[in-house]
Structure 1
Amino acid sequence: MTIFDKTKEAAEKRGMSLQDVARKAGLGINSIYAWKKRDPSITRIKAVAKVLKVSSDELLGIENADNPKIIDIEDDHVLMTFEGKPIPPDDLEIIKRLLRGAKK
């Protein structure tokens, strides 16, 4: 999968178009489409990753055991499961409250 494909997939998971992502990242609205033909700069990758709430490594396809995937518990686009089953919304809210309390 190319960086363009990974970016497009991450945008779709968040219900965003590539033009929306580019705009929020401070890029030209069609600049991500250019990634089909040439690699973007690391600065552009970081800006897009921040908008999509993913790591630059994830967009680049770099897997690193020392760099765990960070998930924002407030991101409604993250599917949380336990033992392969979705967590009921009420239970998920309890888990979120417990995790928020652990941060303090």
Structure 2
Amino acid sequence: MSTDTDATSTAAAHTDGADSCEEQGHTHGYSGDKARLQARLKRIEGQVRGLARMIDEDKYCIDILTQVSATTSGLENVALALLEDHLAHCVVDAARAGSADEKVTEAADAIRRLVKS
């Protein structure tokens, strides 16, 4: 599992790629799905609060682990949706422009991080 420091440094390293996509006048692939993604994240946020409450109330450990699994699955689904949008939008646009190498590398790095977590 990655540390917060790893996630922060990785995010900082990829800021340039995100900015350059915006500078080229592109919107992010997830733009049309913002409401759906935000609804999923709010549901996950509620699950995390529920986990804290379960621990506070000394619930059975297996029940808590079941909820952790459901929360993790929810985050993985958000990540996969974002990755799919990135491939379908940013990578395809870069390929059409003849400069997909950087975007493919970014996607591969993102996949690598997802698989590690």
Q: TM-score, normalised by structure 1?
A: 0.31
Q: Which has the higher contact order (CA 8 A, sep 6+)?
A: 2
Which has the larger share of helix?
Answer: 2
